[in-house]
Chain A
């Protein structure tokens, strides 16, 4: 199966994934024209800040089993080719999915007022292409791994968990160039300083 991996220590918050996602889900799929479309294209991924200068692209993890799939009373969310997809025609706007999502990634479609989430670029997937966010990421913080062996996937996830733990404790993170380390340490120091004043 195909899994999307986030390498936390790689994300530097440029939001290229956000723009690429919105463009991919536009009618014209071109940056310069998509920004003039009505309704305005919506992104399904969000780069969230955390203390210091660490950032994290929050997107659908395509859980299995998935709370959103289980909870939807209209049966509007189903799993297809390892992706949890919303069928807008069946969505009754009850927002149960939005409430139960552990990552808070389900949002409201601005034009239809129905539930909206990452579809893992399923059209591109059928063409054998990477999701738009992965393709756009200039630091390879977002990656696609094709694997039948879930142990590998779990190992990567363990690494992410380990990074999150280290960053939250202010411990050094491996594999990071010295410039990034100085930059993040600086962010940590400013965050501490702000807390001190508070």
Chain B
């Protein structure tokens, strides 16, 4: 690659991109360039590979084929492809949730090693929500009954999702009226695969409405299960200070990077790393100790609950290894680049895969089992410690100092910061000191300079007195830019600055990993109920400025389906059908009260969001 400037706005990342180039190591931006140009049929969504009469393509210029072999039009093909993206995203989140339920169940039965029920109060609240009597039952018994009850959410016995009941009445009525109330997590995903099979659902509106239902079964189902039960097992996050960027790696310590999405193993590794014997072994091997850091959403999970520093977001994963200072990169699943073992081969770094669902050729596989979690975690830490002497000190480059941050803003923590009720926030919005709120979430994508979309958008929003909540890779991007600090209130408009300073909180609140977008849904439902309106009446907006994952498609869809206008920074593969494009960006508002917009320029995107928020204020009679 010739020009390596402007790939990222993170200066530390830039230095490591240069190191990769000096050392001749191929990284994500090289592969992105090698893929150019990317196929227009794929980008427009008009390539269908759903049966073996194909693959078929529709000519977007209208001269060539207008239908696939089966007769599917561009509208059908685009809708089917989009529905499958939603299904894949919902499946990823919900299967993550499934692993947490299973662990909770095994823990309740006393079969796991090292796990305990940490947030008993939340466990009780959830049991009450599920109609499980709590009288005279200990926490093990409650956890067992709750886990079994939640397992039913995945199947077809119940026919409805309990957590969807958390939505405001108006929203639930609307979902019922248009027939998108989710019935079961796995059921909706399977039904997408059925409907998009050759010769089943052809009506693009009908296909997309089921896409909406599937996304809702993620947001108000699988993802929410993952968030809530992780809180039960490991504790509900509270404000916590930590540090971020590639500078969190330590030259004098054994560095272990926890990468992926699931906190189950990561929590145990954090514990194992404080084992005195292992620390002693690290010292014998010439290190000062063991430094555990996070990456992507596993990083967010252990940051939120344990204050573990975060090395970076999605586009930083290869570069962490390229520092030459990582003894082990431990991965679970989702957003883990298949290239990691190849990059690691150039150093002493061991990539250790742990999930039976995600193996990586070239990595060492140590399969995780909750029944032996402590033993496995210690074994992994030991491998890292024993690898320290293999580090080539001459090739180590840790490019700068970490940035401080405050994270841990669960809904419970936000309400506590507000004094126990959402009223102070609602008052600030009514007074106009805070114009509204925005969620800025999602991935990194080499199509956008890394972090630029997130950081510039968030800066623009807070300048306009919009309170921002962040999750996932977006949260890490804003953290690296120093926006997750109370001091960042100085960058906010006068009203937001005043409120943030009075509460001692940052103007940008880190609410967790990507499954934790459900925390935003819960907060929105609380606000809507307090005002006796629908979520779609609130002065709020969402954005995914650098999205790339199918999970983001599911998130975006459940967010608009919950009534929140959402701006995407990269183009979804739908333009091949103007009917689908118009539905998503215009007509959906009339159906579910919100739609998508696409705008890569973060300043313009902020403009769209602020205008939308102002229009909602006006409709509520606020000035």
Q: Any chain A CB within 8 A of the CB of B462? A: no
Pairwise interchain contact A179-B9, C-beta atoms closer than 8 A: no
Pairwise interchain contact A12-B64, C-beta atoms closer than 8 A: no
Pairwise interchain contact B9-A197, C-beta atoms closer than 8 A: yes
Q: Which residue of A lies closest to B47 (CB)?
A: A14
Interface 1/0s, chain A 161-198, versus B by CB < 8 A?
Answer: 00000000000000011111011001001100111011
Complex: A53 Cα to B449 Cα, angstroms: 17
In the complex, besides A13-B37, A14-B42, A139-B60, 7 extra interface pairs with C-beta distance below 8 angstroms are A53-B40, A138-B59, A139-B40, A139-B61, A179-B577, A195-B6, A198-B6
Q: Any chain B CB within 8 A of the CB of A110? A: no
Q: Any chain B CB within 8 A of the CB of A66? A: no
Q: Any chain B CB within 8 A of the CB of A34? A: no
Q: Any chain B CB within 8 A of the CB of A75? A: no
29 A-B pairs (CB sep. < 8 Å) = A12-B39, A12-B44, A12-B60, A13-B39, A14-B39, A14-B40, A14-B41, A14-B42, A55-B37, A55-B40, A138-B65, A139-B63, A140-B61, A140-B63, A177-B60, A177-B62, A179-B578, A180-B60, A180-B61, A182-B575, A183-B44, A189-B600, A190-B448, A190-B600, A193-B448, A193-B452, A195-B6, A197-B9, A198-B3
Complex partner residue of B43 from A53, A194, A195, CB under 8 angstroms: A53
Given A13-B37, A183-B571, CB of A139 within 8 Å of CB of B44: no
Q: Measuring CB to CB, which residues of chain B are less than 8 angstroms from any residue of chain A?
A: 3, 5-6, 9, 36-44, 57, 59-65, 447-449, 452, 571, 575-578, 581, 598, 600-601
Q: Any chain B CB within 8 A of the CB of A15? A: yes
Given A55-B40, A189-B600, CB of A139 within 8 Å of CB of B448: no
Q: What's the minimum C-beta distance from A42 to chain B, rounded to whole angstroms?
A: 17
Complex: A71 Cα to B40 Cα, angstroms: 38
Pairwise interchain contact B576-A179, C-beta atoms closer than 8 A: yes
Q: Any chain B CB within 8 A of the CB of A10? A: yes
Complex partner residue of B37 from A48, A177, A198, CB under 8 angstroms: A48
Complex: A193 Cα to B604 Cα, angstroms: 11
Q: Any chain B CB within 8 A of the CB of A47? A: yes
- Chain B residues whose CB sits within 8 angstroms of the CB of A177 once the complex forms: 60-62
Pairwise interchain contact A197-B449, C-beta atoms closer than 8 A: yes
Q: Any chain B CB within 8 A of the CB of A49? A: yes
- Chain B residues whose CB sits within 8 angstroms of the CB of A13 once the complex forms: 37-40
Complex: A186 Cα to B40 Cα, angstroms: 13
- Chain B residues whose CB sits within 8 angstroms of the CB of A11 once the complex forms: 40
Pairwise interchain contact B575-A49, C-beta atoms closer than 8 A: no
Given A198-B5, A198-B6, CB of A186 within 8 Å of CB of B571: yes
Pairwise interchain contact A10-B575, C-beta atoms closer than 8 A: no
Given A183-B44, A186-B600, A198-B3, CB of A193 within 8 Å of CB of B449: yes
- Chain A residues whose CB sits within 8 angstroms of the CB of B452 once the complex forms: 193, 197
Pairwise interchain contact A179-B581, C-beta atoms closer than 8 A: yes
Q: What's the minimum C-beta distance from A173 to chain B, rounded to whole angstroms?
A: 12
Complex: A14 Cα to B581 Cα, angstroms: 21
Complex: A10 Cα to B41 Cα, angstroms: 12
Complex: A177 Cα to B60 Cα, angstroms: 7
- Chain B residues whose CB sits within 8 angstroms of the CB of A47 once the complex forms: 37
Q: Which residue of A lies closest to B58 (CB)?
A: A138
Complex: A193 Cα to B600 Cα, angstroms: 8
- Chain A residues whose CB sits within 8 angstroms of the CB of B576 once the complex forms: 179
Given A139-B60, A177-B61, CB of A12 within 8 Å of CB of B5: no
Q: What's the minimum C-beta distance from B418 to chain A, rounded to whole angstroms?
A: 37
Given A49-B36, A197-B9, CB of A10 within 8 Å of CB of B61: yes
Pairwise interchain contact B62-A189, C-beta atoms closer than 8 A: no
Interface 1/0s, chain A 1-44, versus B by CB < 8 A?
Answer: 00000000011111100000000000000000000000000000
Complex: A48 Cα to B449 Cα, angstroms: 22
Pairwise interchain contact B575-A183, C-beta atoms closer than 8 A: yes
Contacting residues of chain A (89-104) with chain B, CB-CB under 8 angstroms: none
Q: What's the minimum C-beta distance from A17 to chain B, rounded to whole angstroms?
A: 12
Complex: A47 Cα to B35 Cα, angstroms: 11
Given A14-B39, A179-B575, A183-B43, CB of A139 within 8 Å of CB of B600: no
Complex partner residue of B59 from A139, A182, A195, CB under 8 angstroms: A139
Q: Which 8 A/B pairs are nearest by Cβ-Cβ distance?
A: A12-B40, A198-B6, A13-B37, A49-B37, A49-B36, A55-B37, A197-B449, A14-B39
- Chain A residues whose CB sits within 8 angstroms of the CB of B63 once the complex forms: 139-140
Complex: A194 Cα to B602 Cα, angstroms: 12
Q: Which residue of B lies closest to A137 (CB)?
A: B64
Q: Which residue of B lies closest to A175 (CB)?
A: B61
Q: Which residue of B lies closest to A14 (CB)?
A: B39
Q: Which residue of B lies closest to A47 (CB)?
A: B37
Q: What's the minimum C-beta distance from B273 to chain A, rounded to whole angstroms?
A: 37
Pairwise interchain contact A190-B447, C-beta atoms closer than 8 A: yes
Pairwise interchain contact A178-B578, C-beta atoms closer than 8 A: yes
Pairwise interchain contact A186-B598, C-beta atoms closer than 8 A: yes
- Chain B residues whose CB sits within 8 angstroms of the CB of A14 once the complex forms: 39-42, 57
Q: What's the minimum C-beta distance from A143 to chain B, rounded to whole angstroms?
A: 11
- Chain A residues whose CB sits within 8 angstroms of the CB of B449 once the complex forms: 193-194, 197
- Chain B residues whose CB sits within 8 angstroms of the CB of A15 once the complex forms: 37, 39
Complex: A55 Cα to B35 Cα, angstroms: 13
Pairwise interchain contact A138-B64, C-beta atoms closer than 8 A: yes
